[in-house]
A = this chain, B = another copy of it.
Amino acid sequence: MSVATDRPLRIGEVAMAVGTTARTIRYYEELGLLGSATDRPAGAHRTYGPADVDRLREIMRLRDLLGVSLDELQEIVEAVEARAALRVEFERSHDDARRQEILVEALGHIDRQLELVRRRVAELDGLEQELTARRRRVKTLLRVPT
């Protein structure tokens, strides 16, 4: 779907792709949410790969949909990193007990996020119920079915 060249992207391209601004991306880097290339010379352009784009997209989705502060996001991102690290360890490990441990931990991370998502959905469902109830009342008064 996207342009399939693997050429590194510049900050403006990334911003456009994920629907934000360059300023926001720099800000997230400053906060440590994005992890900057440590070898970038002062004043040089930032470059990004597909993994960076995915990561930013996920951060923004959590921010928007769950309404968490960037402080809380920091924690979530750390958990995501931890999961990635665990994944690598998992792939390499041949210790079955350790592999089990890693999976259980990963499950915990996922379940905590699911909790947040489901609570939100429930709240939104409540709002939707109310709105549809109102809608029905108005419709009834209009004498037009459904």
Q: Give the interface of A toward B (CB within 8 A).
A: 61, 64-65, 67, 100, 103-104, 106-107, 110-111, 113-114, 117-118, 120-121, 123-125, 127-128, 131-132, 134-135, 138-139, 141-142
Instruction: Describe A's contact surface by its main secondary structure.
Output: helix
Q: Can you list 22 A-B pairs with a CB-CB distance of less than 8 A?
A: A61-B127, A64-B67, A65-B127, A100-B142, A103-B138, A103-B141, A106-B138, A107-B135, A107-B138, A107-B139, A107-B142, A110-B131, A110-B135, A110-B138, A113-B131, A114-B128, A117-B128, A117-B131, A120-B124, A121-B121, A121-B128, A124-B124
A95 to B135, CA, bound (A): 22
Q: Which residues of B contact A64 (CB under 8 A)?
A: 67, 123
Q: Which residues of B contact A113 (CB under 8 A)?
A: 131
Q: Pick the residue among B67, B104, B117, B142 that contacts A103 (CB under 8 A).
A: B142
